[in-house]
Structure 1
Amino acid sequence: MPHAARPTVTLHDVAAAAGVSVATASRVLGGSSRTVAPEYERRVLAAAADLRYTADLSARAMRRVSDAITLVVDDLTTPSMGMIVAAMERRARAAGAFVTVSATRATPERQLETVRLLRALRPRALVLTSSRLVANALEGRLFKELQAYEREGGRVVIVGVAEESFDSIEFDNHGAARTLGAYVAESGHRRVVIFGGAREWANLSARVSGFTKGLVGGGVEDRHIRIVDCEISRQGGFDAARRLVAEGLGETDAVLAVNDIVAIGAMSAFRAAGVRVPADVSVTGIDDIQLAVDVTPRLTTVALPLAQVGAESIRLALAERTAPARLTVRGELVVRDSTADRL
């Protein structure tokens, strides 16, 4: 015959039996760092033993903030993001934390849904990196969710754009592209095509604008700069270059791609069509991923400190915060074999 279930003993029962407040009983039995008078501690422990009180460890674990730092990212498949995540993981493990990752496919609804879910799971910090975030203009509901998460004791770091309300790390995308545009102009190119992307992507818009600024400043006439939208992928670069060849390159002597992956796709299409890089057309990218030195010809690009940004985002996530920190990282021009002088 089954035994009757033992009545559940609560923390309130222990506190009442010991003649102390629930808060005092909780500090004794919950392992709090706050000091409790020895007499009260003995009474609580005795009452807990007499009543056979067992703490609900699973509930306590659910209430506890974890050591996880969660990265919320548009797309995990890009090489540049892989470099950032790898650096985050190394820095976090060195600090005794660990990194989890959630992809949102760059949709605001998915970003909001993900942050709401993560608030319930209570990671130690959230690092958001998105090309669609506009500086100082996080979408209203997402902004409120992030503020609520910080009020609950979490930490938010935004990677990719400057954001006044949270710690943020911004790439100087405009400056990187301007430097590259100026180099292409100064090396004699005068008919340039820019392979860009959707205008709502803040980083890509800044790069297209920077390319144009650098080219015009270096002597290229604005009417000789053409902007072609393409999917931001290797296939997107391949397709854009194939269309360009089909239409006729004419006097086009340089293609500036908004990132290395697009540039590598473009070089592949040019090679398939018998267009020589850089003898017929120079090609450049931005990021300096590993593939940039593995392709033939090696890609001229602007190296962004992606690993540094990954490590720095973890440092900010774990540091004591006084006021929101805003960091800007800049790139460095790396001239390789995919460009040639036209002087």
Structure 2
Amino acid sequence: MTLHDVARAAGVSLATASRVLGGSARKVAAEYERKVLAAAAELNYTPDLSARAMRGRTDTVALVADDLTTPSIALVVAAMERQARTVGAFVSVAQTRGVPERQFATVRTLCAFRPRALVLTSTRVEGTARNLRLVEELRAYQRNGGRVVIYGSVDLPFDSVRFDDRASARKVGEHLGATGHRRVLILSGTPDRAFAAERVTGFTEGLTAHGVTPRDIGTAECEVSRQGGYGAVFDALAAGRLDGVDAIVAVNDVVAIGALSACRDAGIDVPGRLSVTGFDDVPLASDVTPRLATLALPHAAGGARAVEMALSDAVGRDPFHEVVVGEFRARESCAPR
């Protein structure tokens, strides 16, 4: 069925049917709008988005993410979708695993579909020579009328909703130091995660500001996953690196939950023997036993804000950077020494 069929069935002009179904800012009489919508429903008509893209832009906000399986990205996508729906737009999602070549190819392909805006949430995009092609592709898309918003901790020359991982992580270290923890092992993730390095620095700054000596702060690299946290605890235990340690600080909640599971399987009492903390405050953090102490980041609010920025009229101004610092949530997995 075509738009001509809908207009004929509704007894209106093609222009009127187009205004009702094409999201035009020009309003039509309520009577005609009802007729057009009823005819479209009866004929099972759907707009030809490819044709619309050839004329201008679709009402799509394209989200490009590293990994769609993490608890935090689920919160972000749901919030983006809710926000987009309030203005008649919708969100499409693509996953790149943080591989620069896939990021570039994905962005280039999405731009060909002429989305209204692109939102990138990645821990592996940086303004380096390796990603120069990606940055230039985003610049070209924006010059041609698109909008680019970065969600997360990446520093690029576009509008962004950025979490201050270092300042947020400092709050975790400060809490641990203030509650008497003096020997700490940080499960630090992997070097390719920019957010992880910032969080480790913040943890360390907060701890040392409250009397913990640098030599009593250890780090252990691990995969940023539940299994990574689980394995890191057993590796540290086998190497004697948990002797005297009174706190394990994980780079995010998923790693921390793996560490909690390892402690339970190894017979290590949490929080009696040592404390465990996470970062993000995903929903599962308050459901595990003991409930996970963590640094809460407002992922849902940040996702909604990113879409709001992406759909705003920002012609002719410099990039706007909104910075967010999280709040520590003290729960049962962390107890004073």
Q: Return the TM-score normalized by structure 1.
A: 0.81
1:268/1:305 CA distance change after superposition, 3 Å: same
Aligned residue for 1:330? 325
Aligned residue for 1:111? 103
CA distance in 2: counterparts of 1:267 and 1:316, whole angstroms: 38
1:84-95 counterparts in 2 under 5 A?
84-95=76-87
- DSSP-derived class of the 1:285 partner: strand
Aligned residue for 2:279? 286
Q: Is the aligned partner of 1:174 residue 2:169?
A: no
Q: Is the aligned partner of 1:130 residue 2:122?
A: yes
1:138/1:165 CA distance change after superposition, 3 Å: farther
Aligned residue for 2:313? 320
Answer whether contact 1:67 1:97 (CA < 8 A) is retained.
Answer: yes
Q: Is the aligned partner of 1:240 residue 2:235?
A: no
Residues 33-78 of structure 1 deviation map (CA, whole Å, 9 limit, x = unaligned):
9xxxxxxxxxxxxxxxxxxxxxxx8874341310010100000000
Residues 289-319 of structure 1 deviation map (CA, whole Å, 9 limit, x = unaligned):
0011000000100100101110000100110
Q: Is the aligned partner of 1:271 residue 2:264?
A: yes
- DSSP-derived class of the 2:98 partner: coil
Aligned residue for 1:206? 198
1:59/1:304 CA distance change after superposition, 3 Å: closer
CA distance in 2: counterparts of 1:341 and 1:59, whole angstroms: 60
CA distance in 1: counterparts of 2:216 and 2:252, whole angstroms: 21
1:306/1:196 CA distance change after superposition, 3 Å: same
- DSSP-derived class of the 1:111 partner: helix
1:149-188 counterparts in 2 under 5 A?
149-161=141-153, 163=155, 165-188=157-180
Q: Shift of residue 129 of structure 1?
A: 0.7
Q: Shift of residue 334 of structure 1?
A: 0.6
Answer whether contact 1:73 1:129 (CA < 8 A) is retained.
Answer: yes
1:115/1:185 CA distance change after superposition, 3 Å: same
| Alignment equivalent of 2:52, drawn from 57, 61, 78 | 61
Residues 138-164 of structure 1 deviation map (CA, whole Å, 9 limit, x = unaligned):
821101000111111111001113546
Aligned residues: 291
- DSSP-derived class of the 2:279 partner: coil
1:216-227 counterparts in 2 under 5 A?
216-227=208-219
Supply the AA of the counterpart residue of 2:158: F
Q: Shift of residue 247 of structure 1?
A: 2.5
Aligned residue for 2:335? 340
Q: CA RMSD in A?
A: 2.1
Answer whether contact 2:184 2:216 (CA < 8 A) is retained.
Answer: yes
Answer whether contact 1:136 1:162 (CA < 8 A) is retained.
Answer: no
CA distance in 2: counterparts of 1:229 and 1:192, whole angstroms: 14
Task: Pick the structure with greater CA Rg.
Answer: 1
- DSSP-derived class of the 2:108 partner: helix
CA distance in 2: counterparts of 1:137 and 1:160, whole angstroms: 20
Q: Return the TM-score normalized by structure 2.
A: 0.82
| Alignment equivalent of 1:302, drawn from 295, 302, 318 | 295
Supply the AA of the counterpart residue of 1:315: E
CA distance in 2: counterparts of 1:149 and 1:161, whole angstroms: 22
Residues 219-263 of structure 1 deviation map (CA, whole Å, 9 limit, x = unaligned):
111011111000000010000011122233210110000000100
Supply the AA of the counterpart residue of 1:323: D
CA distance in 2: counterparts of 1:166 and 1:126, whole angstroms: 11
CA distance in 1: counterparts of 2:229 and 2:115, whole angstroms: 38
Answer whether contact 1:136 1:164 (CA < 8 A) is retained.
Answer: no
- DSSP-derived class of the 2:280 partner: coil
Q: Shift of residue 134 of structure 1?
A: 3.2
Answer whether contact 1:163 1:326 (CA < 8 A) is retained.
Answer: no
Q: Is the aligned partner of 1:262 residue 2:255?
A: yes
Residues 152-197 of structure 1 deviation map (CA, whole Å, 9 limit, x = unaligned):
1111001113546211111010011111001101111111000011
CA distance in 2: counterparts of 1:160 and 1:97, whole angstroms: 22
CA distance in 2: counterparts of 1:340 and 1:237, whole angstroms: 20
Aligned residue for 1:141? 133
Q: Shift of residue 198 of structure 1?
A: 1.6
Answer whether contact 1:164 1:326 (CA < 8 A) is retained.
Answer: no
Answer whether contact 2:125 2:154 (CA < 8 A) is retained.
Answer: no
1:226/1:67 CA distance change after superposition, 3 Å: same
